[in-house]
Chains A and B, each alone.
Chain A
């Protein structure tokens, strides 16, 4: 049926006026015959003809040619399983978090991290942007990262520190070489521009958000890259009057991402919890952020108890902040 083709409204009206009803009728003619029939120029007619022939959006076909033919669109589950087994996972260098995801940040899927300010979303984003460059010789992804910063929270000096931490972790192996392929996109954050300005037009916001999510999902799947999105949190009041923190942008956005992780920060401790995932079970892990970046919770030394540990924690953070102040 014509009305379900991705054509502009004016073209649909034009086709309807000339009594075209099915796709077959359109591509039965040649493009030049179609141009004569509809009294439009050749290029327009060619676009309409192509859309009727192939059914889907010609515009997006140019974005990723990999998914342009039907045969590429369909795979057996076995091929998907094999492809997954062959993937080089993206480690975040926080072991517990990698284990929570099964094998590292999931490739081919969109993962969303939401949390209160200060939970460590940007830190984590910068760290993963560094770890994705671990070369393939060291069993890393060996790719580049695209970091989209919408709220100005990317700090080059801090990224430098974190990159130093990554290199230290690899025990000073020489230059991180990477091939030209992008393996990661980080969007920090999606919520910033969408939380205000759409007050009387939630439908518009939801539509825009859904189309962004669809584009990112398609990129992730077709190019086999990981996409990470940061989100804010908002309070949700339940019927009993008590509030709880819930990811921002509403239930429509909740359905858009494949995986969702909530980063919590309370009493000086940081937790990561899986809210939604099709393959990882719901787990909560604790992590910490030091000068090297996001790492596993360091085990408490057996000799010193209670107070000693807290002092160590304090010392570390104060030294980090003083270092930062000196550099700035």
Chain B
């Protein structure tokens, strides 16, 4: 793996690249031992240090209750606030897809899954949740708007993931791992299932209420050791004793499906559509950026009467996510799917890979013909990312 997806131009990404190469070589050996097509165990990488910022950077961040913006004006202040900033890369997908995404799912970012009905968006969400709780002790908030959370299916995927963890860990001694928080023994699924908190919502207002509740719970948590005032630290410790355990270690929020609750409010005589959309996107981004949590949302497509499909929430929603994966049915083989990266903030777009849905979740479909381009698929994208079929499914340049 000597060439990475994307052009790493900035200082930040250069640092990341070198760290990644170091860990990649470590993981290459693991993959060799366990055979190809095996999932990576997630690792935590300290990706950015404030002293890498060579210039004065002005950062606006909103503190506390939305209204007051605090202006931080130079790298020293950044260092104080962001010095302890860890950005996690969660490799819970199959290797080819992780590569496509630049390592995996990044925390502090929003990933959007778009596709037709029954293409596998919910399966992807269930798989990500199951694997995350299998590999780590972190909590997942699963916001379910269409009662698609199926405990039995999650259990099935979890058993497989836990088996894999056991295999990997018995084949090498634990101190080789760069990460922390991995259990030395396989977890009973009942313990893991406590880490998944499912919120059932049925309309956009309830969704906003739930997001507000999560935000409030999280803002009571963080004991920020970078503040210099001792009394401040004591005060926060006191608060943290009383807060709910689930917000302690919340790593991911999954919303399935976001468009199902927002699309009824758009168009016609509906007067609240855009207000709701912006409120929801603001709430999600606030949580994601302030508390360094990964968010995954799903969105469906509707038919464009002329050709193909268009996103259900319209053009303006295409700017919401940091990364977007589009899922398609394989034009020739009904049992396979194609996942394409159609928007990204730090990797190259246009790459695609094939996959199948199996009892293990979504797995790589024997990558031999991964470079074939389905010519007949069309998807209207936003103006900045207008892609026609040839570009979208170009011969994958990744290794």
Contact = CB atoms under 8 A, between A and B. Distances in A.
B185 interface: no
B271 A9 contact: yes
Contact of B142 (A55, A77, A256): A77
A60 B152 CA distance: 30
A312 interface: no
B71 interface: no
A6 interface: yes
Contact of A76 (B198, B201, B276, B300): B198
Interface string B270-291: 1110011001100000000000
Contacts of B19: none
Contact of B202 (A4, A81, A214): A214
A210 B264 contact: yes
B148 to A, nearest CB: 4
Given A56-B203, A75-B198, A207-B264, A275 B118 contact: yes
A1 to B, nearest CB: 5
Nearest to B149: A80
A211 interface: yes
B117 interface: yes
A126 interface: no
Most buried by B among A6, A57, A250, A279: A279
A109 interface: yes
Given A207-B270, A255-B117, A279 B264 contact: no
Contacts of A56: 203, 205-206, 209
Contacts of A54: 209
B301 A251 contact: yes
Contacts of A250: 302-303
A278 interface: yes
Contacts of A4: 204-205, 208, 272, 275-276, 279-280
A255 B208 CA distance: 21
Contacts, number: 157
Interface in A1-45: 1, 3-6, 9, 12
A255 B264 contact: no
Given A55-B205, A81-B155, A278-B150, A3 B279 contact: yes
Contact of A109 (B147, B201, B279): B147
A210 B313 CA distance: 14
Contact of A251 (B117, B142, B194, B199): B117
Interface string A46-88: 0000000011110010000001001001111110110010000
B200 interface: yes
Contact of A3 (B126, B196, B272, B312): B272
Contacts of B148: 109, 258, 278
Contacts of B151: 77, 80-81, 84
A78 B123 CA distance: 18
Interface residues of B, number: 60
Nearest to A208: B264
B154 interface: yes
Interface in B87-120: 116-118
Contacts of B280: 4
A77 B196 contact: yes
Contacts of A5: 205
Given A4-B276, A77-B149, A279-B152, A255 B257 contact: yes
A108 interface: yes
Contacts of A252: 263, 300, 302, 312
A281 B279 CA distance: 37
A276 B312 CA distance: 19
Interface in B245-282: 257, 259-261, 263-264, 267-268, 270-272, 275-276, 279-280
Contacts of B332: none
B197 A74 contact: yes
B68 interface: no
A263 B208 CA distance: 38
B208 to A, nearest CB: 6
A5 B271 CA distance: 11
A157 to B, nearest CB: 35
Interface of A: 1, 3-6, 9, 12, 54-57, 60, 67, 70, 73-78, 80-81, 84, 102, 108-110, 203-204, 206-207, 210-211, 214, 217-218, 220-221, 239, 250-252, 254-256, 258, 260, 275-276, 278-279, 281
Interface of B: 116-118, 122-123, 126, 142, 146-155, 190, 193-206, 208-210, 212-213, 257, 259-261, 263-264, 267-268, 270-272, 275-276, 279-280, 300-303, 309, 312, 359, 376
9 contacts: A3-B272, A55-B205, A55-B208, A57-B206, A77-B151, A77-B196, A214-B264, A221-B202, A252-B312
